[in-house]
Amino acid sequence: MSATITTTTDSVASATDVLQAIPLEGRPFGARIILPTYTQDPADLNDADFQRLYNAVHQYLVVVIPDQADLKPSSQYQLTKRFDPTCEGKYGHSKEFRHEKSVLRRDGHSTPSQPQVQILGQGRHDGHEGVPDLLLRHPTHMSFHHDPLSEEDMASGYTRFYRWHIDSALYGLAPPVATTLLGINCPVDNNQKIRYEDTGEEITTAKAATAFASGAIAFDNLSDDEKEFALNTTVVYAPHPYIFISPAKATSDGLTMVSEGKELSLDELPEWEEDKIKRLPLVWTNPVTGKHHMQVHGCCIWKLETPNGTLELEEARSTVHRLMRPNISPNRIYCHDWNNGDLVIFFNRGVWHSVTGQFEEGGHRLMHQCNIASGVDPVCQK
């Protein structure tokens, strides 16, 4: 798909008759979207303006549409689905999202009226979207990382990147093209700090910001030899990967898992089929810009099929960690500080993202998320 993207570099833009994309100042990527005057529901964009939005998402990777707190789940679903004509409407993680052993099982609740839209957040929200007894839990590194922060560090305002990932089941279903994430009620009562334990660098963001890293920046920063390696490498994901890794714990940067042999054996997994195992290129080509994006879910990786042979689990993890780590450095990421009503749309086939933060007892947050499995896998066009 191709079309002209209407952009402006002004920090403030007035409403116009066509959709505008305003690049975020001082950020490595990202844009703010100004909707055209004829609608405040992005699901109702005409074909030309949706084309502008589609291209903006692929060019800027993460876009923000403000003042969408009242967006209906049906509109969010229709908007998300519109980004991929091949999708059949299945939620990106399918039913495995709720499996009792999945590391994702506690991360949300389906909206009854639109099951592809997940309710995320923290605290009790009884009756929201007709769900009685709705208790939400914001995922934190404390239950997922091998060596979590101390109580003293957390009391001093420190947190971590929880898990850098791509939204995808990575088994049976193709990765979604786009994810929409709606901040309905996102109170921010203080900031948080993230310390890079290997360099000592620190960043400060709003509490529970969502962090994004660009797969295009990651690829561009590889050496020539690394680019050749990446372009010719296939990532093999474990069957039922979120169940496979459930007994294991993650590295302190959230990029991959610590290899201690704790993963479930294949015999311990739910029934699986060989032809549903996902074998995806390490590099995915952006269909709008033509850029290469290094796209890998480091926590769910099983093997790497490289030009020099197959790397098994531990070596595969260490290899992708080495390639990924420079690209979550402070100057290469965008951390979105949430305002009530922010609708964030990101190119799921072009970025990695991570939850951050933790909430105190009694904290509240309410969000809606939607991504839909594609009908086709991403490709690398060399």
Write out pLDDT tens, residues 10-22: 444 456 799 999 9
For 164-192, the pLDDT digits (tens) are 999 999 999 999 999 999 999 998 778 99
How far is Cα 257 from Cα 314, in angstroms, rounded to an integer? 9
Name the residue with tokens 């295009």.
216
For 130-176, the pLDDT digits (tens) are 999 898 888 889 989 999 999 999 999 999 999 999 999 999 999 99
Phi-psi label, residue 2: left if phi above 0, alpha if psi -120 to 50, beta otherwise: beta
Q: What was the pLDDT predicted at 108?
A: 73
pLDDT above 70: residue 100: no
- Express as a percent the part of the chain with pLDDT over 70: 91
Q: Spell 229-242 as b/e; 16+ CB within 10 A means b.
A: bbbbbebbbbbbbb
Structure tokens at 375: 């009908």
- Express as a percent the part of the chain with pLDDT over 90: 83
Q: What was the pLDDT predicted at 105?
A: 52
- Residue 293 · residue 219 · CB < 8 Å: yes
pLDDT above 50: residue 51: yes
**HEC secondary structure over 351-373:** EEEEEECCCCCCCCEEEEEEEEC
User: From the centroid of its chain, how far is CA 120?
Assistant: 14
pTM of the model: 0.93
Phi, psi (deg, nearest 5) at residue 203: -130, 155
Q: Quick check: helix, strand or coil at residue 19?
A: coil
pLDDT above 70: residue 294: yes
Who contacts 56 (Cβ-Cβ below 8 Å, separation ≥6)?
Answer: 5, 7, 19, 21, 31, 33, 63
